[in-house]
Chain A
């Protein structure tokens, strides 16, 4: 696989607790993305980043925040987890923008109980 890793791979947390998911890349790509995937919805874009400290909202950003303090790491934070945020989260990277293909991580399965 290309150099993109997500951690943790699995997490169970309680409602109301903060949770941070990490996406790490070794490709020095400029663009990074966070998606969530739920049954019947396909993948939906949460937030994305087009450079260090440059981020923007996607389709379903409510309840999520992101940070990118260095090129290789893109963090997704749930400030106060809710059961509706139980999902599989995927990170993706893209080096050139434009029409080039994305590379996705293996996903983080988050369960909020």
Chain B
């Protein structure tokens, strides 16, 4: 399985945008980029996924580099509720498994 690299932790102030980076230099052409987050004492929660084009949903935006070797999860206005561990995961189209790394712990300050 291709690997991803994320910073261990990041900080943000409430109502500011947050850009969470992910490097995946060994990504293959059929790998989807998935993002999940895990709030304290809860199971992971699906955030967004994409293949080549940038994606937007009600939770976040996903910006994918043209060469697909990196991506950025964008939270447009951080809230205290967004404090969580964010996981960037590559998943092959025909792969039934989701392999987690250690993620980025996001702290949001009021």
Q: What is A's interface to B at a CB cutoff of 8 Å? A: 31, 33, 35, 40-45, 48, 50, 58-59, 90, 92, 94, 97-99, 101-107
A-B contact pairs, 12 of them (CB 8 A): A44-B100, A45-B98, A45-B99, A99-B32, A99-B34, A99-B91, A101-B34, A102-B46, A102-B98, A103-B46, A104-B43, A104-B45
Q: Taking each of B34, B43, B44, which has the highest tally of chain A beta carbons within 10 Å of its own beta carbon?
A: B43
CA distance A44 to B34 in the complex (A): 16
- Determine the distance from Cα of A73 to Cα of B54 in the docked complex, in whole angstroms: 36
**Which residues of chain B come closer than 8 Å to A33, judged between CB atoms?**
97-98
Give the complex CA separation of A33 and B100 in angstroms.
Answer: 13
- Give the number of A-B contacts (CB < 8 Å): 53
Q: A99-B32, A99-B51 are in contact. Are A105 and B43 (CB under 8 A)?
A: yes
A106 partner, pick from B42, B94, B101, beta carbons under 8 A? B42
**Is the beta-carbon distance between B96 and A40 smaller than 8 angstroms?**
no
Classify chain B's interface size: 20 to 34
Cα distance, A14 to B93, chains bound together (Å) = 41
A98 contacts B43, C-beta separation under 8 Å: no
Chain A residues whose C-beta falls within 8 Å of the C-beta of B32 in the assembled complex: 99
Residues of B within 8 A of A (CB): 32, 34, 36, 42-46, 49, 51, 87, 91, 93-94, 96-103
Alpha-carbon distance between A92 and B87 when the two chains are bound, in angstroms: 16
Of A50, A99, A102, the contact of B93 (CB 8 Å cutoff): A99
How many Å from the CB of B32 to the closest CB on chain A?
Answer: 4
Beyond A50-B96, A102-B46, is A42–B101 a contact (Cβ under 8 Å)?
yes
Q: Using A42-B103, A44-B100 as known contacts, say yes or no to A101 and B43 having CB atoms under 8 A apart.
A: no
Given A44-B100, A90-B43, A106-B42; 6 other pairs, CB 8 A cutoff: A45-B97, A90-B44, A94-B96, A101-B49, A102-B98, A105-B43
- Choose among A40, A42, A99, A106 the residue that contacts B100 (Cβ–Cβ < 8 A): A42
By the criterion CB–CB under 8 Å, are B96 and A48 in contact? yes
- A45 / chain B contacts, CB cutoff of 8 Å: 97-99
